[in-house]
């Protein structure tokens, strides 16, 4: 050892620190798993051009990832485990979505199941999928078909149709979205060479249903056919053409919508947006709020106000009382709360209407009120009772609508009711039982010149759908039992009325009564099913103001959907109605059959047949009809994204009616047409 | 020859007799003869009906018009219109029904003409009568055969909504989504819905009918789909659903609910739907599930199994909450198309809350990303 003495053994301080660090790292190296993956090394690689499109693959680099460690990792895309379809390519995990991702934000998550049994999240990424650099969503298309029809032969028709005709239909859709805004539109167009077949009765092209919607943040607007107001005492199924705008969604604390709709529905290129006519328009505003944020949906308060003018039931698809124009106004407030884990529910609603019953007559509008209260309690809500999931619901309802209560937003509504009803529902092990008992009176406003009728309705229904235990064959294939998957049901409804207070010529006592008992059974198999039902009913008239009758109806149905593509449906009905006063039985028999049969890949046949017979025991009626229609269709080529499809078909229809009482009313007609159809579909 | 001078008083009776014969002869030439027809009476059956205050009513009646004729040619009995009157057949006019009735029959002694009619009594008519302080409305018709006229009336008592003669006052048709015109793909499910408002109670007799594209190119020929017999009361609007509508034939179809009893006094509506040719998308086949059984309890070892579908790139197992009406699934699993069974990892099960109820299904996806087969939903519970 040469000189240097103590100095020879003195090292700089940093050299000592490095030695200590290396020593410590060595010790740690002995403790760590031999192939541990550093958790902060996983990286979701950027898209090559910075833009992730719906079908683009996702690339995830996990340093140290090998085939041996692969089984420890779980990769989730939007909380769905996709580990089984991930490929490892050059140290990069490649995930090709099996379905194109929807535009918008997505999450990718990497989780490791360590050998020690821990579940450790190794990475989580949020990324946006866009259609293009300009729009997050951008898609549109037209699906439709056009047919040229040629008359082959007709007979027995009062008017000979045109030798050539055309018809068609198309469905248009489009979406644009980016940032916080989104616009969408859909519309149906229909064409027919005969203007009488179009809604507006003129031209050759007409408009079906359409809706154009726009959203920006919580703001929204819509033009077209829509239902902007929720059902309540003053609004029921009010779907019309019109405009609406509002703020807030269904899950927001506050939701407000203002709307203007056509009072009577319209179809076709007529009526504009539905708000142009003041004598055929309903305007209003609806508000929904969740004032108690204790739990989701714990309490909802809603209010609706509307007013408008209605010309009567002369819209598209409706018939009834028409004219003159009646004006009306209505408002309602409702509160709906649920507590105790949604087992207890209380809903109350108060409303008021003002309606001009005589239109342009001299009487002032009538004002009246309505109120409802509903209380339900679930002692059992999917609770385990003796090893089976069990549900039990008990409820009571009170509903009172004044005699002159009438809302312009509910043209089908029935007022003048004071109802008290109790009901219950029970379900367990495939059994479902429903029972209800209600009593109501009319003449709610206690008008002295009107009688008062008390009505009592009781009902009971039972349904049993046992799960048929499937057996396995030697090859492990599941086989349905010989009796199929059964479903049984029974229902009984009893309705009785009595005159509680005399008036209008009605004397106190029994007034009317009806009862209905129905039984049904159905059995389902893998490819076919059948069912039978029988209904007995009767009505009794005690006041001489109506009819007394009995009715029985039996139905038998059979359906087959074979793997070969053959589809068969048969339906048989027999109804016998007996007029007890006249002593006459009326019998109606109906037999229907539908068959669809693929003869070849490009050739298919369809056939529909219906037989109907109406007769009475006194010989005053004896009418039979027989209808057959069908088509033979040859697909020349299928439609795809690059070219339209083409098919040729022969359609035929035969109808014959015989009237044994009036033979001069007998008819027989035949119609045969050729149809050349072109179809196209868009790539959305 | 003796000339007799007669007293003027003795010749007066002869002159009167001659004048009477002359007048009768002229009357016989130009006036009605005893042998011509004459409406002698009108009765209505039933004589009394009831209508509810605050809503429309619909009443059916039969007018029996008696005509007396001895000899002569045929005659037509007609009524130009009916009218609603308040309190009595000659009371205040409330409204007019401009619907003529007419029958022509050969004369055979005493003849009774029977006219069946169903009349919608507007709510405004009932309301105006109530405001006038009367408890009855009379529907009045006058029948005339050109010789004589006679009037009949049906009394309509005003009641509350619980009573009222059985009748249909409103019928609204729509498809399942509420639309009144539809464009459908072939073999797609389509159903019509009828919302019916009735007054009174009784047996509703109707039939769902459809005229399919094989006939609408010419004269639409309706065929029955389903007979409806239902005892109803007017306390709630009645909702009827049609059987599945035919969507195999391409082109225009018409569907309606033809109500035979009680007869409605308005034109029954009908709906149009067009069946267009199918798009490029292949039909979705049914996928059979094998395990676990419905309403099973999910355990760590629970295996989901299904029947394999040819040419499948991958299977997607979706698990959703029962009240989930769309959007992304709660969790799930995607496996290679060569597999037909899989279990959920602990990471996946961690997305499900304890003691919950969920539903699940399996989709088969081809290499184009299209769903080629789909199973039904099954329920499953978590412990």
Do residue B165 and residue A545 have CB atoms under 8 angstroms apart? yes
Task: Nearest by CB to B178, from A239, A363, A647: name it.
Answer: A239
**Whether the predicted pLDDT of A235 surpasses 60:** yes
Of the ranges A117-131, A235-249, B320-334, which one carries the lowest mean pLDDT score?
A: B320-334
Cβ–Cβ < 8 Å for A630, A652: yes
- Cα B260 to chain centroid distance, Å, stands at 8
Interface touch A324/B226, C-beta < 8 Å: no
Q: How far is A149 from chain B (nearest CA, A)?
A: 8
Closest residue in B to A514 (Cα) is: B231
Is the CB of B280 less than 8 angstroms away from the CB of A640?
Answer: yes
Total CB pairs under 8 A between chain A and B: 425
Question: Are B332 and A629 within 8 A, CB to CB?
Answer: no
Q: Could you tell me the pLDDT band of residue A33, with boundaries at 50, 70 and 90?
A: very low
Taking 50 as the threshold, does the pLDDT of residue A445 lie above it? yes
**Would the pLDDT of A12 be above 70?**
no
Q: Do A84 and B335 touch (CB under 8 A)?
A: yes
Residues of B in contact with A384 (CB under 8 A): none
* Token representation of residue A56: 């683009």
**CA of B30 vs chain A CAs: smallest distance (Å):** 40
A640·B216 Cβ contact <8 A: no
The 10s digit of each residue's pLDDT in A647-682 is: 999 999 999 999 999 998 899 999 999 999 999 887
Residue of B nearest to A676 (CA): B250
Do residue B219 and residue A669 have CB atoms under 8 angstroms apart? yes
Residues in chain A, how many?
A: 684
**Residue A515 three-state SS:** strand
**What DSSP string runs through B152-207?**
EEEEEEEE-TT----EEEEEEEEETTS-SEEEE-TT----EEEEEEEESEEEEEEE
Å from B149 to nearest chain A CA?
29
Q: Do B277 and A453 touch (CB under 8 A)?
A: no
**Mode of pairing for the β-strands spanning B167-175 and A318-320:** antiparallel
Measured distance CA(A40)–CA(A61) in Å, rounded:
11
Mention every residue, 6+ apart, whose C-beta is less than 8 A from residue B69. B35, B36, B37, B38, B75, B107, B108, B109, B110, B111
Task: State the DSSP string of A197-251.
Answer: GSTTSSSSEEEEEEEEEEEETTEEEEEEEE--S---SS-SS--EEEEEEEE--TT
Look at A639 and B229 and tell me if their CB atoms are within 8 Å.
no
Give the closest-approach CA distance of A382 to chain B in angstroms.
9
User: Best interface-test mutation with A: which of B231, B277, B312 has the largest number of A CBs within 10 A?
Assistant: B277
Instruction: Look up residue B37 and give its two tokens.
Output: 């027809």
Are the beta carbons of A169 and B316 separated by less than 8 Å? no
Residue A475: the pLDDT is 52
The phi and psi torsions of A572 (rounded to 5 degrees) equal -130, 130
- Measured between beta carbons, the chain B residues lying within 8 angstroms of A381 are none
CB under 8 Å to A299, separation ≥6 — which residues? A290, A291, A292, A335, A336, A337, A338
Q: Which of A197, A359, A451 sits opposite B252 (nearest CB)?
A: A197
How does pLDDT run across A139-190, given as a tens digit for each residue? 999 999 999 999 998 888 888 888 899 999 999 999 999 999 999 999 999 9
User: CA A22, A28, A32, A34 torsion: positive or negative?
Assistant: positive
Distance CA B247, CA B267 (A): 26
A265: DSSP letter: -
> In sequence order, what are the residues at sequence separation of 6 or more whose Cβ sits closer than 8 angstroms to the Cβ of residue A34?
none
The chain B residue lying nearest A572, using CA atoms, is: B226
- Cα A626 to chain centroid distance, Å, stands at 35
Name the minimum distance, in Å, from the CA of A521 to any CA of chain B. 17
- Residues with Cβ within 8 Å of residue B322, at least 6 apart in sequence: B357, B358, B359, B379
Cβ count near A244 (within 10 Å): 22
d(CA A191, CA A673): 18
Q: Which of B226, B295, B316 sits opposite A389 (nearest CB)?
A: B295
Give which of A357, A458, A569, A679 to mutate to test B binding, by max B Cβ within 10 Å: A357
Q: Which residues contact A328 (CB under 8 A, 6 or more apart)?
A: A307, A308, A309, A310, A353, A354, A355, A356, A365, A406, A407, A408
| B280 → closest Cβ in A119, A512, A641 | A641
With b meaning 16 or more CB within 10 Å and e meaning fewer, what string describes A568-586?
A: bbbbbbbbbbbbeeeebeb
Separation between Cα atoms, residue B356 and residue A378, nearest integer Å: 17
- Please answer yes or no on whether B53 and A209 come within 8 Å at the CB atom: no
Are B217 and A167 within 8 A, CB to CB? yes
- Residues of chain A with Cβ-Cβ distance to B200 below 8 Å are 546
In this complex, do A416 and B161 lie within 8 Å of one another by their Cβ atoms? Answer: yes
Read off the pLDDT of each residue in A380-409 and give the average, rounded to a whole number. 90
Q: How far is A404 from chain B (nearest CA, A)?
A: 6
Tokens read off for A297: 């949906």
SS (H, E, C) B104-143: EECCCCEEEEEEEEEEEECHHHHHHHHHCCCCEEEEEEEE
A594: chain B residues, CB-CB within 8 Å? 246, 248
Residue A335 exposed, middle or buried by CB count within 10 Å (0-12, 13-18, 19+): middle
Model ipTM over 0.85: yes
Beta strand A667-680 pairing with A452-464: unpaired
Split at pLDDT 50, 70, 90, the class of A360 is confident
What's the mean per-residue pLDDT of chain A? 88
Evaluate if residue A94 carries a pLDDT over 70. yes
| Per-residue pLDDT band at A77 (split at 50, 70, 90) | very high
Question: Residue B160 is nearest to which of A416, A535, A677, comparing CB atoms?
Answer: A416
Which structure tokens are listed for B237? 């609007």
Between residues A481 and A119, the one the model is more confident about: A119
User: What's residue A323's pLDDT?
Assistant: 75
pLDDT for A471 equals 53
Identify the structural domains of chain B with CATH numbers, from first to last.
38-159 (2.60.40.3880), 167-275 (2.60.40.10), 285-381 (2.60.40.10)
User: What are A578-592's pLDDT values in tens digits?
Assistant: 999 889 999 999 999
Query: How is residue B244 annotated by DSSP?
Result: P
Q: Residue A39 pLDDT more than 50?
A: no
Partners of residue A436 in chain B, C-beta under 8 Å: none
Nearest CB among B162, B274, B371 relative to A455 is that of B162
Nearest residue of A to residue B319 by CA position?
A80
Q: Kindly give the confidence (pLDDT) of every residue in chain B, 383 residues in length, as a single tens digit, with 9 standing for 90 and above.
A: 333 344 545 555 566 656 655 655 554 444 444 445 577 788 988 878 899 999 899 999 999 998 876 544 457 889 999 999 999 999 999 999 999 999 887 766 777 889 999 999 999 999 999 999 999 999 999 998 888 889 999 999 999 998 888 999 999 999 999 999 999 988 888 999 999 999 999 999 999 999 988 888 878 889 999 999 999 988 889 999 999 999 988 999 999 999 999 999 999 999 999 998 876 556 678 888 888 888 888 998 899 999 999 889 999 999 998 877 677 889 999 999 999 999 999 889 989 988 888 999 999 999 888 899 999 899 898 98
* Model pLDDT, residue A470: 54
Contact A610 B203 (CB under 8 A): no
- In SS3 terms, A134-185 reads as CCCEEEEEEEEEEEEEEEEEEECCCCCCCCEEEEEEEEEEEEEEECCEEEEE
Confidence of residue A81 (pLDDT cuts 50, 70, 90): very high
Residue A198 has pLDDT above 80, yes or no: yes
**What is the nearest CA distance from A248 to chain B, expressed in angstroms?**
19
Q: Do B221 and A504 count as a contact with CB atoms less than 8 A apart?
A: no
First to last CA, chain B: 146
β-pair partners for A261: A242, A282
Q: Determine the pLDDT at residue A386.
A: 75
Q: Are B170 and A318 in contact (CB under 8 A)?
A: yes
Which of A55, A70, A75, A79 is the mutation pick for testing B, counting most B CBs within 10 A? A79
Instruction: Identify the CA nearest to B176 among candidates A461, A198, A209.
Output: A209
Predicted model pTM: 0.84
Helix (H, G, I), strand (E, B) or coil at B371: strand
CATH C-level class of A39-129:
mainly beta
Tell me A503's DSSP state: B
A540 to chain B: nearest residue by CA?
B202
Report domain extents, chain A: 39-129
Question: What count of residues does chain B have?
Answer: 383
């Amino acid at each position: 050892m040469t000189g240097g003495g103590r100095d020879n053994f003195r090292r700089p301080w940093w050299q000592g620190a490095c030695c200590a660090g290396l020593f410590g790292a060595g010790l740690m190296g002995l403790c760590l798993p031999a192939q541990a993956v550093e958790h902060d090394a996983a990286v979701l690689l950027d898209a090559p051009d910075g833009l992730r499109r719906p079908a683009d693959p996702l690339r995830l680099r996990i340093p140290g990832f090998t085939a041996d460690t692969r089984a420890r990792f779980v990769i989730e895309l939007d909380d769905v485990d996709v580990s089984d379809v991930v490929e490892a390519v050059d140290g990069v995990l490649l995930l090709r979505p099996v379905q194109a991702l929807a535009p918008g934000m997505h999450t990718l998550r990497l989780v490791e199941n360590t050998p020690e049994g821990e579940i450790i999240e190794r990475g989580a990424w949020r990324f946006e999928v866009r259609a293009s650099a300009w729009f997050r969503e951008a898609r549109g298309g037209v699906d439709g078909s056009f047919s040229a029809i040629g008359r082959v032969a007709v007979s027995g028709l009062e008017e000979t149709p045109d030798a050539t005709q055309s018809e068609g239909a198309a469905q248009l859709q489009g979406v644009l979205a980016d940032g916080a805004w989104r616009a969408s539109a859909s519309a149906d167009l229909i064409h027919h060479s005969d203007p009488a077949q179009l809604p507006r009765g003129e031209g050759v092209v007409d408009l079906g249903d359409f809706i154009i919607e726009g959203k920006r943040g919580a703001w929204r607007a819509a033009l077209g056919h829509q239902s902007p107001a929720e059902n309540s005492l003053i609004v029921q199924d009010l779907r019309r053409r019109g405009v609406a705008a509002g703020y807030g969604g269904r899950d927001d604390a506050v939701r407000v919508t203002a709307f203007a709709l056509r009072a009577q529905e319209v179809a076709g290129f007529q009526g504009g947006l539905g708000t142009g006519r003041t004598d055929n328009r309903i305007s209003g505003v609806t508000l929904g709020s969740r004032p108690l944020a204790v739990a989701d949906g714990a309490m909802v308060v809603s209010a609706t106000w509307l007013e408008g003018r209605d010309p009567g039931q002369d819209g598209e698809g409706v018939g009834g009382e028409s004219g003159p124009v009646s004006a009306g106004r209505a408002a309602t407030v409702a509160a709906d709360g649920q507590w105790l884990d949604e087992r207890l529910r209380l809903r109350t609603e108060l409303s008021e209407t003002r309606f001009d019953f005589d239109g342009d007559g001299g009487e002032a509008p009538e004002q009246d009120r309505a109120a409802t209260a509903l209380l339900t309690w679930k002692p059992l809500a999917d609770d385990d009772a003796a090893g089976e999931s069990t549900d039990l619901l008990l409820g009571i309802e009170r509903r009172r609508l004044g005699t002159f209560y009438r809302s312009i937003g509910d043209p089908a509504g029935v007022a003048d009711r004071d109802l008290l009803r109790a009901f219950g529902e029970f379900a367990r092990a495939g059994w479902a039982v429903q029972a209800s008992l209600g009593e109501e009176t009319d003449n709610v406003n206690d008008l002295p010149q009107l009688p008062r009728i008390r009505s009592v309705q009781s009902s009971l229904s039972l349904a049993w759908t046992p799960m048929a235990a499937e057996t396995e064959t030697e090859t492990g294939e599941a086989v349905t039992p010989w009796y199929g998957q059964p479903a049984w049901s029974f229902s009984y409804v009893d309705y009785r009325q009595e005159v509680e207070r005399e008036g209008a010529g009605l004397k106190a006592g029994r007034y009317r009564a009806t009862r209905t008992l129905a039984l049904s059974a159905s059995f389902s198999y893998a490819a076919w099913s059948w069912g039978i039902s029988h209904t007995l009913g009767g009505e009794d008239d005690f006041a001489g103001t109506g009819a007394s009758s009995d009715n029985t109806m039996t139905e038998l149905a059979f359906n087959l959907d074979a793997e070969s593509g053959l589809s068969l449906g048969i339906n048989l009905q027999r109804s016998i109605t007996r007029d007890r006063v006249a002593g006459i039985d009326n019998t109606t028999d109906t037999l229907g059959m539908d068959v669809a049969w693929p003869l070849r890949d490009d050739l298919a046949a369809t056939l529909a047949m219906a037989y109907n017979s109406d007769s009475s025991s006194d010989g005053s009626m004896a009418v039979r009809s027989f209808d057959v229609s069908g088509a033979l269709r040859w697909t020349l080529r299928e439609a795809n994204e690059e070219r339209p499809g083409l098919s040729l078909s022969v359609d035929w229809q035969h109808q014959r009616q015989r009237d044994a009482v009036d033979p001069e009313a007998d008819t027989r007609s035949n119609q045969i047409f050729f149809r050349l159809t072109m179809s196209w579909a868009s790539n959305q | 020859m003796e000339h007799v001078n007669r007293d003027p008083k003795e010749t007066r009776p002869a002159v009167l007799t001659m004048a009477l014969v002359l007048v009768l002869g002229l009357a016989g030439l130009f006036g009605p003869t005893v042998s011509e027809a004459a409406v002698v009476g009108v009765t209505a059956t039933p004589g009394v009906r009831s209508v509810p205050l605050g809503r429309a009513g619909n009443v059916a009646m039969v007018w029996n018009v008696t005509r007396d004729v001895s000899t002569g040619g045929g005659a037509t009995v007609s009524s130009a219109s009916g009218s609603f009157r308040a309190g009595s057949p000659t009371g205040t006019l409330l409204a007019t029904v401009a619907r003529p009735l007419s029958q022509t029959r050969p004369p055979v002694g005493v003849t009774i003409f029977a006219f069946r009619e169903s009349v919608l009594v507007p709510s405004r008519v009932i309301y105006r009568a109530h405001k006038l302080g009367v408890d009855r409305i009379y529907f009045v018709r006058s029948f005339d055969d050109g010789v004589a006229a006679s009037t009949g009336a049906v009394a309509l008592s005003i009641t509350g909504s619980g009573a009222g003669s059985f009748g249909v006052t409103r019928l609204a048709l729509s498809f399942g989504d509420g639309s009144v015109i539809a464009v459908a793909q072939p073999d797609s499910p389509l159903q019509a819905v009828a919302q019916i408002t009735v007054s009174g109670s009784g047996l509703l007799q109707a039939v769902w009918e459809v005229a399919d594209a094989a006939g609408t190119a010419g004269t639409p020929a309706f065929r029955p789909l389903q007979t409806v017999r239902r005892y109803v009361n007017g306390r709630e609007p009645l909702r009827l659903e049609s059987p599945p509508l035919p969507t195999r034939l391409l082109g225009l179809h018409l569907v309606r609910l033809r109500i035979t009893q009680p007869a409605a006094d308005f034109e029954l509506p009908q709906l149009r739907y067009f069946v267009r040719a199918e798009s490029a998308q292949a039909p979705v086949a049914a996928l059979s599930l094998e395990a676990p059984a419905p309403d099973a309890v999910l355990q760590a070892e629970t295996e989901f199994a299904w029947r394999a579908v040819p040419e499948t790139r991958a299977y997607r197992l979706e698990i959703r909450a029962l009240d989930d009406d769309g959007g992304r699934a709660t969790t799930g699993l995607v496996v290679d198309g060569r597999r037909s069974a899989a279990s959920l990892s602990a990471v996946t099960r961690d997305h499900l809350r304890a003691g919950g109820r969920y539903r699940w299904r399996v989709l088969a996806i081809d290499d184009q990303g299209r769903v080629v087969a789909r199973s039904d939903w099954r329920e499953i519970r978590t412990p």
